[in-house]
């Protein structure tokens, strides 16, 4: 309002003084006065009045009362005035639909004006007036304008179709505008083509299944031709549209890439980024050994670096995208580390992003430079930036082993600065370095302890407590240190409380004599005085463990921790693929799929990179196909974190674990995703006592299942083995996993009679993508057994132990121990008869014993065994009929749905279902760990307990075993 005042003074209005006086009156008077001016005979006065109205509108005043008066000014030769009136109309027509109709005549008339600029203006404005009655009148003029002789009118009309579609999609379809729009793609004028492409792309987003854009080699060729001729913006529309196309084969892919690469030299960064998107996507299809592939990789680096000399906002967009590109194809920018060095005057958002990319590019070759830079950054002013720099030093240590020592000494230097947040951040990362390189840098603990008092952030406190607990035996006053934390126990955050609890229990197990009081104190604080269920539960577990079986407690609490991995914050691969398809857009800036921030259905279709196949049907599906399967992949990105979260929530195991630790295969997450996450997670927790033990000891990895590494039992603490642990955890046998993998019951493999008193029974299981041999060893002899080891003979699928047999405690007379042995499938191969036979040798201090057992072949079914429909069809046809074998499964009372679910648990995937005359035909695929595919057709007749199954496989020998699995799985 104030500036509207000034505005009247600044502009050369006829009577300045009176105007300013007038603006000081009440609002009511103002409207009244404007009304009079709008109806003035003098053109100049009228125009000035409209300008005042627009000024008021801009500052948010309601001037809708003037609607009829403003509309009256519409019929004028003065284009400037006309445009102002149109601006007013676009704003207020919706609130005054009845009066807006008054304007229609002028619009229709203007659409016939001899001046193309006026025709275009009319059709452009009409499309912005979202009033149904007006829309009806719009159709005829629009139809004419779409075929106007003047390209300026046509390009405006093309966009108008998108506007109309936004108001009334049905109308656009009924009126056939979509076809006219498609024709415009072949227009002679490049700008018309570009706008038509933009409009069609937008409309296609809300009709994911329509073949609106109809991209085929011919239309692509037209677009590529227009690309050379249209404006920078048009080039962006066309490139973004091209990125949605999936070429038929690698040759087409290459020829498109060749025609897109010149755009990398465009001055407009958006053109460059959109071109990069097309190239990154189509490159997927090129064979890696192709010369052109290498050329293309080389061509991508310079333009990406050039983006960094753009204005800071664009640099930010570019850096967010480079972050994705570096994760997808690290080779492109691996030599360009220096350009990501932070400049003193970079805005903070550019600095933080550069730092991220520096860590990703850090390698042995450039680590010295990187560390020198990071050290500089750690002395800057911005707290966030400094913290991130310190954290980055820690990540370098974990990523590049050779640099670890220098990183640690750099961190120690930083701790000496005594800058509070630097010290805290350094301690957090040093904890990770301890985890990664155990028993290497513990000499620095003393320095860390000096800074104990200055730590006031939970994460740093928890990290420090963890360090004290973990190395309690080397810190003389560990008990005093921990005790000092205990005083304010209830004021600490949960993270610190949990860590303190664990640390004191560790301390107790290491120095039991002096710390009994301390541990009792913390246990009672945790279990009796706390409202936090996580804390109470952990407290009770420890309490019970310690009171019933200190040895087991030691095994659990002081278990060896799995190593932490190098890359901690990589974007999950499916999400990364999707984001690569969105390079340059907001999704790539947020690093989130569009569905996470776009409302409604528009533009949230999931995109995928094309598969790298030479040619054929395999490549056809991605764009059309993924629309149908839209919801399934949607869940995928969140699954792995949520599994981790679940564990984190239940036990809050570690110091806000930054890592997905250890060898947990990602596929396990996918499989779990299908079922109720909580239920499944809980059951598998109960079922696997050993991994849980490992967790309590501080590892976030649950699926790893390498079990607890037992410590040597000191004589003073000797207590009966077995019992407590079993009570608490041995629920595994009783609780079934409704949809988990089928696990056969344990059988005796080696009777005690044959093995001088050692009895071995066991079974096989596949858990979280890891094959495990679960053994129960019982000592039925009179003497203690030690020094267990296991070996397999060569076998059909290369099964071999992935680690030593973890029976490190001596097995006393009449004792039993359960061990689970992870297996790999990379051992030596020899065909066995029967195929699934396994010959095993077990050694102990007495002798070596041999036995053989048979494993269900379903252990070898891998999690990514779901075939694409088309591929299934082609493969089924491809396998000769001789390889087909048929079996009957009798007395099975499941319906096809339940059967399919059950089989899925064992990685037998139903791909399609067909119902013919009451008979369900299920088509399934299985992939064995050695890459053999088995295709199956299962016929289920309602009411008939007998199933028929046909198996097709290129290696027909496996069919018999696979059939046995079907039977076992379905009947259990």
Q: Which of residues 220-239 bind another protein (CB under 8 A)?
A: 228-233, 236-237
* Minimum distance from residue 644 beta carbon to another protein (Å): 25
* Tokens coding 521: 């104190």
* Minimum distance from residue 202 beta carbon to another protein (Å): 7
Q: Are 3 and 59 in contact (CB under 8 A)?
A: yes
Confirm or reject binding of residue 114 to another protein (CB under 8 A).
yes
Q: Which stretch binds another protein (CB under 8 A): 17-25, 146-154, 661-669, 693-701?
A: 146-154
Residue from 99, 102, 139, 589 that binds another protein (CB under 8 A)?
A: 589
Close Cβ partners of 221 (under 8 Å, ≥ 6 residues apart): none
Q: How many CB atoms lie within 10 A of CB 574?
A: 20
* Tokens coding 552: 């087991």
Q: In terms of CB distance, is 589 or 932 closer to another protein?
A: 589
Handedness of CA 479, 481, 482, 483 (dihedral sign): positive
Instruction: Label each residue of 60-89 as H, E or C.
Output: CCCCHHHHHHHHHCCCCCCHHHHHHHHHHH
538, burial (CB in 10 Å: exposed 0-12, middle 13-18, buried 19+): buried
Q: Which stretch binds another protein (CB under 8 A): 14-22, 152-160, 322-330, 836-844?
A: 152-160
Residue from 291, 311, 476, 917 that binds another protein (CB under 8 A)?
A: 311
Confirm or reject binding of residue 833 to another protein (CB under 8 A).
no
Q: In terms of CB distance, is 155 or 866 closer to another protein?
A: 155
CA terminus-to-terminus distance, the chain: 78
DSSP letter at 861 equals: B
Q: In terms of CB distance, is 124 or 766 closer to another protein?
A: 124
Q: In terms of CB distance, is 304 or 770 closer to another protein?
A: 304
Ranges within 698-737 binding another protein (CB under 8 A):
none
* Tokens coding 725: 């642990």
704 closest CA partner among 680, 722, 684: 684
Helix axes 312-328, 348-361, angle to 10 degrees: 20
Residue from 16, 298, 474, 602 that binds another protein (CB under 8 A)?
A: 602
Confirm or reject binding of residue 240 to another protein (CB under 8 A).
yes
Ranges within 350-379 binding another protein (CB under 8 A):
369, 373, 376, 379
504 closest CA partner among 553, 548, 551: 553
Q: Which stretch binds another protein (CB under 8 A): 127-135, 168-176, 568-576, 656-664?
A: 127-135
Q: In terms of CB distance, is 220 or 903 closer to another protein?
A: 220
Residue from 23, 67, 316, 855 that binds another protein (CB under 8 A)?
A: 316
Residue from 196, 223, 318, 427 that binds another protein (CB under 8 A)?
A: 318
Residue from 85, 162, 404, 646 that binds another protein (CB under 8 A)?
A: 162
* Minimum distance from residue 343 beta carbon to another protein (Å): 6
DSSP letter at 801 equals: E
Please compute, for residue 925, the number of CA atoms within 13 A of its CA located in the half-sphere on the CB side. 22
Q: In terms of CB distance, is 381 or 916 closer to another protein?
A: 381
Ranges within 398-417 binding another protein (CB under 8 A):
417
Q: In terms of CB distance, is 153 or 853 closer to another protein?
A: 153
5, burial (CB in 10 Å: exposed 0-12, middle 13-18, buried 19+): middle
Ranges within 60-79 binding another protein (CB under 8 A):
60, 77-79
Confirm or reject binding of residue 635 to another protein (CB under 8 A).
no
DSSP letter at 829 equals: B
Helix (H, G, I), strand (E, B) or coil at 773: strand
Helix (H, G, I), strand (E, B) or coil at 39: coil
Q: In terms of CB distance, is 417 or 615 closer to another protein?
A: 417
Q: Are 473 and 435 in contact (CB under 8 A)?
A: no
Helix (H, G, I), strand (E, B) or coil at 531: coil
Please compute, for residue 423, the number of CA atoms within 13 A of its CA located in the half-sphere on the CB side. 19
Ranges within 425-464 binding another protein (CB under 8 A):
none
Q: Which stretch binds another protein (CB under 8 A): 598-606, 679-687, 704-712, 789-797?
A: 598-606
Ranges within 563-582 binding another protein (CB under 8 A):
582
DSSP letter at 921 equals: E
Q: Are 790 and 840 in contact (CB under 8 A)?
A: yes
Dist. CA 706–CA 820, nearest whole Å: 8
Residue from 65, 102, 108, 128 that binds another protein (CB under 8 A)?
A: 128
Q: In terms of CB distance, is 160 or 650 closer to another protein?
A: 160
Confirm or reject binding of residue 80 to another protein (CB under 8 A).
yes
Ranges within 4-63 binding another protein (CB under 8 A):
6-7, 10-11, 51, 54-55, 58-60
DSSP per position, 193-205: HHHHHHHHHHHHH
Strand runs (DSSP E) across 80-190, as ranges?
A: none
* Minimum distance from residue 154 beta carbon to another protein (Å): 8
Confirm or reject binding of residue 317 to another protein (CB under 8 A).
yes
* Minimum distance from residue 26 beta carbon to another protein (Å): 21
Confirm or reject binding of residue 603 to another protein (CB under 8 A).
yes
Residue from 33, 166, 442, 884 that binds another protein (CB under 8 A)?
A: 166
Close Cβ partners of 47 (under 8 Å, ≥ 6 residues apart): 78, 80, 81, 84
Confirm or reject binding of residue 490 to another protein (CB under 8 A).
no
Helix (H, G, I), strand (E, B) or coil at 918: coil
Ranges within 497-536 binding another protein (CB under 8 A):
none
Confirm or reject binding of residue 208 to another protein (CB under 8 A).
no
DSSP letter at 572 equals: P
Residue from 83, 147, 893, 914 that binds another protein (CB under 8 A)?
A: 83
On the question of a cis peptide bond just before residue 76, with omega within 30 degrees of 0, the verdict is no
* Minimum distance from residue 478 beta carbon to another protein (Å): 28
Q: In terms of CB distance, is 164 or 867 closer to another protein?
A: 164
Beta bridge partners of 779: 758
Q: How many CB atoms lie within 10 A of CB 81?
A: 19
Element (H, E) at 6: helix 2-10
Site track for another protein across 782-801, x = CB under 8 A: --------------------
* Minimum distance from residue 173 beta carbon to another protein (Å): 19
Dist. CA 923–CA 937, nearest whole Å: 5
On the question of a cis peptide bond just before residue 834, with omega within 30 degrees of 0, the verdict is yes
Residue from 297, 576, 598, 776 that binds another protein (CB under 8 A)?
A: 598
Residue from 242, 419, 482, 737 that binds another protein (CB under 8 A)?
A: 419
Confirm or reject binding of residue 189 to another protein (CB under 8 A).
yes
Q: In terms of CB distance, is 302 or 720 closer to another protein?
A: 302
Q: Which stretch binds another protein (CB under 8 A): 80-88, 390-398, 616-624, 909-917?
A: 80-88
Q: Which stretch binds another protein (CB under 8 A): 126-134, 138-146, 573-581, 797-805?
A: 126-134
644, burial (CB in 10 Å: exposed 0-12, middle 13-18, buried 19+): buried
Residues in the interface with another protein (CB under 8 A) total 115
693, burial (CB in 10 Å: exposed 0-12, middle 13-18, buried 19+): buried
Residue from 25, 186, 295, 309 that binds another protein (CB under 8 A)?
A: 309
Ranges within 246-305 binding another protein (CB under 8 A):
259, 261-263, 265-270, 272-274, 302-303, 305
Dist. CA 128–CA 164, nearest whole Å: 8
Confirm or reject binding of residue 932 to another protein (CB under 8 A).
no
Dist. CA 165–CA 171, nearest whole Å: 7
């Amino acid at each position: 309002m104030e500036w509207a005042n000034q505005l009247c003074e600044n502009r050369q209005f006829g009577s300045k003084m009176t105007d300013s006086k007038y603006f000081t009156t009440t609002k009511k008077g103002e409207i009244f006065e404007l009304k009079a001016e709008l109806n003035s005979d003098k053109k100049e006065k009228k125009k000035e009045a409209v300008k005042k109205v627009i000024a008021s509108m801009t500052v948010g005043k309601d001037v809708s009362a003037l609607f009829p008066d403003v509309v009256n000014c519409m019929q004028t030769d003065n284009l400037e005035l006309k445009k102002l009136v149109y601006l007013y109309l676009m704003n207020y027509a919706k609130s005054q639909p009845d009066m807006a109709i008054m304007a229609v005549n002028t619009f229709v008339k203007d659409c016939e004006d001899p001046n193309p600029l006026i025709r275009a203006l009319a059709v452009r404005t009409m499309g912005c007036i979202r009033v149904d009655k007006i829309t009806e009148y719009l159709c005829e003029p629009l139809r004419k304008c779409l075929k106007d002789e003047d390209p300026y009118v046509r390009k405006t009309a093309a966009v108008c179709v998108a506007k109309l579609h936004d108001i009334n999609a049905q109308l656009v379809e009924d009126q056939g505008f979509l076809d006219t729009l498609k024709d415009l793609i072949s227009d002679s004028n490049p700008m018309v083509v570009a706008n038509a492409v933009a409009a069609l792309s937008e409309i296609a987003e809300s009709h994911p299944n329509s073949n609106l854009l109809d991209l085929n080699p011919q239309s692509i060729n037209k677009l590529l031709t227009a690309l050379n001729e249209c404006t920078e913006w048009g080039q962006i529309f066309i490139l973004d549209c091209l990125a949605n196309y999936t070429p038929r084969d690698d040759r087409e892919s290459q020829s498109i890439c060749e025609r897109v690469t010149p755009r990398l030299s465009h001055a407009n960064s958006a053109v460059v980024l959109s071109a990069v998107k097309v190239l990154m996507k189509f490159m997927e299809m090129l064979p890696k050994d192709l010369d052109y592939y290498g050329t293309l990789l080389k061509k991508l680096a310079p333009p990406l670096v050039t983006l960094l000399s753009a204005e800071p906002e664009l640099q930010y967009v570019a850096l967010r995208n480079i972050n994705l590109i570096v994760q997808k194809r690290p080779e492109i920018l691996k030599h360009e580390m220096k350009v990501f060095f932070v400049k003193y005057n970079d805005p903070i958002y550019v600095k933080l992003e550069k730092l991220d990319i520096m860590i990703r590019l850090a390698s042995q070759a450039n680590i010295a430079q990187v560390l020198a830079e990071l050290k500089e950054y750690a002395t800057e002013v911005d707290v966030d930036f400094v913290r991130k720099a310190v954290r980055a030093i820690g990540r370098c240590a974990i990523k590049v082993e050779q640099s670890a020592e220098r990183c640690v000494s750099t961190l120690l230097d930083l701790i000496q600065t005594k800058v509070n947040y630097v010290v805290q951040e350094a301690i957090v990362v040093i904890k990770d370095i301890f985890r990664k390189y155990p028993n290497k840098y513990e000499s620095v603990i003393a320095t860390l302890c000096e800074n104990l008092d200055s730590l006031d952030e939970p994460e740093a406190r928890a990290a420090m407590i963890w360090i004290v607990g973990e190395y309690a035996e080397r810190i003389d006053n560990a008990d005093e240190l921990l005790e000092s934390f205990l005083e304010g126990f209830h004021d600490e955050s949960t993270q610190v409380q949990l860590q303190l609890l664990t640390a004191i229990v560790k301390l107790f197990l290491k120095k039991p004599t002096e710390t009994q009081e301390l541990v009792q104190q913390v246990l009672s604080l945790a279990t009796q005085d706390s409202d936090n269920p996580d804390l109470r539960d952990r407290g009770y577990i420890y309490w019970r463990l310690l009171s019933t079986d200190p040895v087991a407690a030691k095994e659990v609490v002081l278990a060896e921790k799995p190593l932490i991995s190098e890359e901690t914050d990589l974007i999950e691969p499916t999400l990364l693929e999707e984001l690569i398809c969105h390079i340059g857009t907001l999704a790539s800036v947020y690093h989130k799929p569009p569905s996470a921030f776009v409302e409604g259905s528009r533009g949230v279709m999931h995109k995928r990179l094309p598969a790298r196949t030479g040619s054929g049907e395999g490549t056809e599906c991605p764009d059309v196909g993924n629309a149908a399967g839209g919801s399934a992949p949607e869940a995928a990105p969140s699954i792995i974190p949520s599994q981790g979260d679940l564990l984190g929530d239940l036990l809050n195991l570690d110091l806000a674990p930054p890592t997905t630790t250890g060898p947990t295969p990602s596929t396990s997450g996918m499989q779990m995703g299908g079922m109720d996450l909580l239920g499944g997670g809980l059951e598998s927790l109960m079922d696997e006592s050993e991994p849980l033990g490992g967790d309590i000891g501080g590892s976030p990895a649950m699926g790893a299942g390498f079990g607890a590494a037992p410590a040597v039992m000191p004589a003073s603490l000797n207590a009966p083995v077995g019992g407590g642990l079993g009570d608490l955890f041995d629920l595994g046998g009783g609780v079934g996993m409704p949809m988990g993998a089928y696990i056969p019951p344990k059988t005796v493999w080696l009777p005690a009679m044959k093995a001088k008193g050692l009895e071995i029974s066991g079974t096989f299981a596949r858990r979280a993508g890891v094959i495990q041999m679960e053994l129960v060893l019982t000592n039925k002899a009179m003497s203690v057994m030690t020094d267990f080891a296991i070996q397999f003979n060569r076998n059909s699928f290369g099964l071999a132990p992935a680690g030593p047999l973890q029976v490190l405690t001596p097995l006393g007379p009449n004792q039993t121990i359960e061990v689970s042995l992870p297996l790999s499938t990379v051992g030596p191969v020899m065909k066995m008869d029967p195929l699934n036979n396994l010959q095993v040798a077990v050694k102990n201090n007495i002798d070596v014993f041999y036995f053989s057992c048979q494993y269900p072949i379903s252990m070898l079914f891998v999690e990514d065994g779901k075939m694409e429909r088309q591929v299934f069809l082609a493969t089924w046809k491809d396998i000769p009929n001789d390889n087909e074998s048929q079996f009957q499964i009798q007395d099975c009372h499941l319906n096809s749905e339940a059967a399919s679910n059950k089989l899925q648990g064992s990685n037998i995937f139903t791909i399609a279902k067909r119902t013919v005359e009451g008979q369900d035909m299920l088509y399934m695929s299985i992939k064995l760990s050695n890459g053999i595919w088995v295709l199956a057709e299962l016929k289920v007749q309602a009411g008939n307990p007998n199933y028929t199954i046909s198996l097709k496989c290129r290696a027909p020998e496996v069919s018999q075993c696979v059939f046995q699995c079907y039977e076992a799985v379905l009947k259990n």
